[in-house]
Amino acid sequence: MLGERFLCRLVDVPPGEGRTFEMDGQRIAVFHTRTGSVFATAAECPHKGGPLADGMLGGTTVTCPLHERVYDLANGRELTGDCDLMTYPVRRTADGVVLLLPAASDAMIS
């Protein structure tokens, strides 16, 4: 069973863009696709630490702005190599993005 934590307002992440937020000391990139889907990943590229929220969003993929590594936002798989990205389950609400967490009240993002 998953618990929920409010992560950000949807208006803070324009369609077709990404933004970085912090929760419990972890930096999380939130992406809002032009079709209205919302995804959350680790904020830094696992390859060389590039700022993924500044990358190019195309459909359900993001391209790291540093070395053009391409990641599938749904599952974190790198499409151009073998350096996968951590993803977080989220739910879009009418006014925001909710991060889904394990039910334990003291659960940490990992």
Q: Mean pLDDT throughout 2-27?
A: 92
pLDDT at residue number 104: 44
Whether the per-residue pLDDT at 29 is higher than 60: the answer is: yes
Residue 108 has pLDDT above 50, yes or no: no
d(CA 56, CA 89): 21
Q: What is the dihedral of CA 31, 33, 37, 43, to 10 degrees?
A: -10
Average pLDDT over residues 2-12: 89
How much is the mean pLDDT over the chain?
Answer: 89
